[in-house]
Amino acid sequence: MTGSHDTINTPDKANATYTAGLVSPLRDDQLDYPALLMGNYLLGSGALSSRLGNRVRQQEGLSYSIGSSLSVSSFDKRSGLTITAICNPINIGRVEKAIQEELARLLRDGVTRDELDRGKQGYLQAQKVGRSSDTALVGILANLSHSGRTMDYQVELEKNIEALTPEQVLSALRKHIDPKKLVIVTAGDFETKPSGGSE
């Protein structure tokens, strides 16, 4: 599968959107899953503490919101990575460039031990907080039951995440993320000339 890039003009819309995604043959009981999960968390799922959040929103102020998400099936070897951003149409080119650079840097250099440790702490704490809600816990148990699992699966997953090394995360990222296979779609009012401002 090769990547693609499409642009959709949406006249009179105040914001532009960037969406990129790719699929990979991975199921959530395979060895690579915890490492890819953490890699995605550090890339863009960890809100403002992520690579994309730090670079695109906090440092350069280019995007109103940005993040990545990972969806991995419990039944089939099918996973999907999605990167999304919302910005002023005049900034779409800079947003795209920053995302490409951060993804390339992550795949080239990997993550540091300190970055990974902080990521683990943030992710595992979020899981713990999530389970403190009865409604969320019922949802977790229902999903586990649907795939024939118990909370033992979640316990094992979190143990594996806690034991991850930077090398394992980099290996999983390189195995399952190929920037050349990204399908990218940008949409916005790219034909109207801005009256002023640069946000």
Task: List domains and CATH numbers for the chain.
Answer: 4-188 (3.30.830.10)
Measured distance CA(188)–CA(11) in Å, rounded: 7
Pairing of strands 16-24, 183-188: antiparallel
Give alpha helix (H) positions in the chain. Answer: 33-40, 51-52, 92-109, 113-130, 134-146, 151-162, 166-176
Q: What is the pLDDT of residues 29-73, one digit of tens each?
A: 999 999 999 999 999 998 657 999 999 999 999 999 999 999 999
Distance set, CA 54 to CA 9, 77, 105, 199 (Å): 28, 32, 14, 16
Distance in angstroms (rounded) separating the CA atoms of residues 42 and 169: 10
Give the model confidence (pLDDT) of 72-131 as tens digits.
Answer: 999 999 999 999 999 999 999 999 999 999 999 999 999 999 999 999 999 999 999 999
Q: Copy the structure tokens of residue 142.
A: 């229902």
pLDDT, tens digit, for every residue of 119-172?
A: 999 999 999 999 999 999 999 999 999 999 999 999 999 999 999 999 999 999
Q: What percent of the chain has pLDDT over 90?
A: 91
- The answer, yes or no, to whether residue 197 has pLDDT greater than 50, is no
